[in-house]
Amino acid sequence: MNAEAASQLVQVLEKTTSGDQNELKAAQAFLESAAQSNLPELIRTLSDVLYHGANSAVVRQQAGVQLKNFLYTNDESLRAQYEERWLAMPEEVRNYTKQNVLGTLGTESFRPSAAAQCVQLIAMVELPRAMWPGLLSTLVQNVTNAASTEIMKESTLQAIGYICQDVEPRCMEETANEILTAIVHGMRRDETSNQVKLASTNALLNSLEFTRANFEKDAERHFIMQVVCEATQSEEVQVKVAALQCLVKIMSLYYQYMEAYMGQALFAITLEAMKAETDEVALQGIEFWSNVCDEEVDLQIEASEASEAGRPPEHVSRFYAKGALQFLVPALMSSLTKQDEYDDEDDWNPCKAAGVCLMLLATCCEDDVVPHVLPFVKDNIKHADWRNRDAALMSFGSILEGPDPAQLKPLVEQAMPMLIDLMKDGSVVVKDTAAWTIGRVCELIPEAAINPLTLQPLLEALVTGLASEPRVASNVCWAFTSLADAAYEQAECGDEEETPATYSLSAFFSPIVEKLLWTTDREDAGASNLRAAAYEALMEMVKNSPKDCYDTVQKTTVIILQRLQQVLQMETHIQSQSDRVQFNDLQSLLCATLQSVLRKVEPAHAPAISDTIMTALLQMFQSSTQTRSGGVQEDALMAVATLVEVLGDGFIKYMDAFKPYLLIGLKNTAEYQVCHAAVGLVGDICRAMGGRVAQWTDEVMEVLLSNLGDNSVHRTVKPQILSVFGDIALAVGPEFRKYLEHVLQTLMQASQAQVDRSDYDMLDYLNELREGCLEAYTGIIQGLKGDGTNPSPDLTVVQPHVSYIVQFITVVARDSEHSDASVAASAGLIGDLCAAFGRDIVQLLDVEPISDLLTAGRRSKTTKTKTLSTWATKEIRKLKNATSTAP
């Protein structure tokens, strides 16, 4: 672009902030067309406009914004494309642009610096590729040069901070020393500008992950800690907060090095911060101690794992939290009393942070926390000021997890009448916290909740609480959820599998369910997640119901079905997107509740309602397919799975009507949760119907094989598809031969998959993939073997693959990262191979990796793995004995 074009660009940039829509559209159209005709030239000119100080602040800022938009996008799927586009530009344009943005640092009159962001965005692309070699030394020079202006130092430190935040730490480790030099220079006590101090403290916060080598050296660590601790004493609140944020992060990253600083400085600095009037400062003080607790809980876990394995732990806890309890608890109690009556539930403030910190302290310090908290509870639970009553409840509820339940139980039983009483408090905040505390009691110390002395008044208070404000009622629902579970656990029952005849809530069951159903229909049930909480409680009540409540369960089933039908008729009245969202949410909730009641329906009663249920579900599939509501499809598929579970092969009469929707679900790879649910359902249908599924398997197999070959299909679906091949093979037996060649080829490819072993998610995926392959092989071998005493001749088609299958089991066995589930699946397959191929296979299986795998399996803590491994070991032994005694 020549000078004339540049001046035209300046005029256009002035209009990009115009209030006049026409001017704005024209400006955007000009930029788009310039980008299409010659993007490198446009980028070059934008960097010129940004660089030239004679242009107005607005124009320069807009030039920076447009430049950023060509360098970076928030859309992750396009990011690589943007990077490639920058790298493909002529080197001369890239160098010219970089020179301009670097030269702009320190010349802008506005904050934040646009040039600093442009430097960051180019660095994100170039530094990991070892390009732009002189960048960091130039930035450091800008900060440490005595002649640099305040604005130069500030904008450069902003650039350094941005780079530290977004460029991968491993690319920054080599230059950590240089970067730290600049950052610490900006944080010195004699630096007069608070803006420079703030920019450098933020940069330090972003650099902490790659400066481990500096923290490992005493002298360098002392210097960094000194500078940070000094910055926490700044009069400027933003600097103080940023410095405290550094301490919070340092505590998590470098706990092991903190002993020298804790007693001398950190304890006093953070305790003082906790007591500060300014919320941002107090929050960081509290966060510091929450982090200490998190670290020390992890270290306790590490210590117990180490002692189990008979080795010393790698790192040890210094028990800072325990040592500071007597000072921390009063400070936290004080924060708990500073709540706002009209507090927004989403606002994070010191009062909420103090509650979380207290819970973490209880988990970390266990019984030691109780004597520090109880006096405050006793002194404040009847206080005239609602804030103190609320703080007393909150602190009592917060210490229920961590200390020994046996020690807490008498205290809670003693407190129960008081908690019930506070459900009628004049303050909605206190009622809310009382309901939450009772919920915690029901979840954590259930014996105290179902104590016969207080059970009836407790249930009356909770049922009344369902008519309270939504936030209170929502906590009451959660209490019912835990209570139902606890009462069911305690019920007298001869056999673990059997439903108990009665339980402590039986007399109250019907009115509770009635009131929960009423709650789901409240006008204001949309607030505080109340509708979902009430349905959740209803599901738990039904799931955990004894035999003498079956009548109510049946009635509830009918009510839920009627509601589902009513909701489906509302489809035609949907007018807006928010109506659609509510409609979908309600369908999903009713579907989930239907599953819960269906599981309780006795098999003999299921066919009477199954037609109505299936009709409603088919209608849901039809409407959700048209409106592309994946969430509803997924829930409806789960409901069908429950119906299959209850009806068994009685489900066959619905298969023809349902099959089109099952195939739509299997093909819906864009919403992978839907696809995942559909694949799981294929397995359920095979298990329920056995050989009768053969008439539908061709189409299903075609879609499954196509999904496996499609790289865009989400990885969580693939292991499950492999496993379902096993279910289909088991169901159709010899019929599976027509798919065998394809499937065995696919299994061979899947079983050879390799992943990046430093990525734990990918390791989990590898294990799931292998479990899927092992389960597929098991199903195929069992299905082709048949049920007869002697293996069916159909097995011969698998014979050539047996040595590969055993080799694959050996690969799993040798992998030190194999999962418990893959050991179980391997053991099951080994046993089946013995049963199917008899003596011929002993030599292949009697090898060290496999015997080591089975030994590990027999020692597993999981019953399934243990049982299968013991069985497989016996099968091999039987064959070995038969072989050795054979003539």
Residue 344 scores a pLDDT above 70: no
Show the DSSP H helices in 648-755 as ranges: 655-667, 672-689, 697-708, 717-732, 737-751
Average pLDDT over residues 454-478: 94
pLDDT of residue 496: 64
Average pLDDT over residues 256-262: 92
Residues 6 or more apart whose CB falls under 8 angstroms from that of 28 comprise 16
Residue 345 scores a pLDDT above 80: no
Both tokens of 273, joined, read: 């911060």
Tell me which of 577 and 440 has the higher pLDDT.
440
Report CA torsion sign: 450, 454, 458, 460: positive
The tens digit of pLDDT for each residue in 796-837 reads 889 899 999 999 999 999 998 899 999 999 999 999 999 999
Residue 495 scores a pLDDT above 80: no
Average pLDDT over residues 53-82: 86
The proportion of the chain whose per-residue pLDDT surpasses 70, expressed as a percent, equals 98
The tens digit of pLDDT for each residue in 631-686 reads 788 888 999 999 999 999 899 999 999 999 999 999 999 889 999 999 999 999 99
Q: Considering only CA atoms, which of 505, 503, 535 is closest in space to residue 519?
A: 535
Residues 6 or more apart whose CB falls under 8 angstroms from that of 155 comprise 105, 106, 108, 113, 115, 116, 199
Report CA torsion sign: 628, 634, 640, 643: negative
Average pLDDT over residues 203-212: 87
**Around Cβ 129, how many Cβ atoms within 10 Å?**
10
pLDDT of residue 592: 85
Query: How far is 430 from 542, CA to CA, in rounded Å?
Result: 30
Residue 1 scores a pLDDT above 60: no
168 band by pLDDT with thresholds 50, 70 and 90: confident
The tens digit of pLDDT for each residue in 404-424 reads 999 999 999 999 999 999 999
- Give the rounded distance of the alpha carbon of 816 from its chain centre: 26
pLDDT of residue 579: 76
272, burial (CB in 10 Å: exposed 0-12, middle 13-18, buried 19+): middle
Query: How far is 217 from 222, CA to CA, in rounded Å?
Result: 9
The tens digit of pLDDT for each residue in 279-331 reads 999 999 999 999 999 999 999 999 888 888 888 888 888 999 999 999 999 99
* Lowest mean pLDDT segment, chosen from 138-152, 161-175, 416-430, 696-710: 161-175
Residue 173 scores a pLDDT above 80: no
pLDDT of residue 746: 93
Q: CA-CA distances (angstroms) from residue 660 to 618, 654, 664, 680?
A: 10, 11, 6, 16
Average pLDDT over residues 486-502: 79
Average pLDDT over residues 379-403: 94
Average pLDDT over residues 89-103: 92
The structure's pTM equals: 0.76
The tens digit of pLDDT for each residue in 552-583 reads 988 988 888 888 888 878 777 777 777 778 77
User: Measured at the alpha carbon of residue 756, what is the angle toward residues 755 and 760, in degrees to the nearest 5?
Assistant: 100
Where do the DSSP E strands lie in 15-129?
A: none
Query: Across all residues in the chain, what is the average pLDDT?
Result: 89
